[in-house]
């Protein structure tokens, strides 16, 4: 009897785990591309000059220039913000697709897809 109950619990556990995985996989909004962390050095309307932090891999350190457009998600703690909420000195994460020009400063060719403000307070 105890063996049957144990097997029943295991089947239920596997079913719940599989269902949760399937639901999560089908409802998540995956973000493809590369992400790096940086400090904002300069802002000129929708153009940003940032300095990649040392926690990034070697390819995402140093100065990077990019632009945002109306399709770029700007957020802080999963809440939408505006471009005006981003200030020089803020720490952000930048997610982008596409090419990076090997110039100085490096330039992300396409507009980035997400900028997340990482500051604790706003």
CATH number at residue 78: 2.40.50.320
Does residue 19 fall inside a structural domain? Answer: yes
Look up the pTM and report it: 0.70
The answer to whether the Cα torsion of 7, 9, 14, 15 is positive or negative is positive
pLDDT 10s digits, 3-18: 888 888 888 888 888 8
Taking CA atoms, 7 is separated from 1, 10, 18, 95, in Å, by: 10, 5, 16, 45
My answer on whether 23 and 83 are in the same domain is: no
Does residue 122 fall inside a structural domain? Answer: no
Q: Which domain holds residue 5?
A: 1-30
**What is the number of domains present in the chain?**
2
Does residue 2 fall inside a structural domain? Answer: yes
What is the structure's pLDDT at 30?
Answer: 58
In this model, does residue 116 exceed pLDDT 70?
yes
Measured distance CA(85)–CA(76) in Å, rounded: 9
What is the structure's pLDDT at 2?
Answer: 77
How does the average pLDDT of the chain come out, rounded?
86
My answer on whether 41 and 3 are in the same domain is: no
pLDDT 10s digits, 65-78: 999 999 999 999 98
Is residue 37 within a helix (H) or strand (E), and if so which, with residue range? strand 34-44
């Amino acid at each position: 009897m105890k063996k049957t109950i144990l097997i029943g619990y295991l089947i239920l556990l596997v079913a719940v785990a599989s269902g949760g995985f399937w639901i999560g996989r089908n409802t998540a909004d995956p973000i493809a591309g590369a992400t790096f962390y940086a400090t904002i050095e300069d802002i000129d309307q929708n153009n940003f000059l940032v300095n990649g932090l040392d926690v990034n891999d070697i390819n995402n350190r140093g100065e990077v220039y990019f632009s945002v457009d109306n399709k770029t998600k700007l957020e802080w703690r999963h809440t939408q913000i505006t471009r005006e909420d981003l200030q020089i000195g803020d720490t952000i994460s930048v997610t982008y697709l596409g090419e990076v020009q090997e110039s100085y400063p490096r330039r992300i060719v396409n507009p980035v897809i997400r900028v997340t403000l990482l500051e604790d307070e706003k």
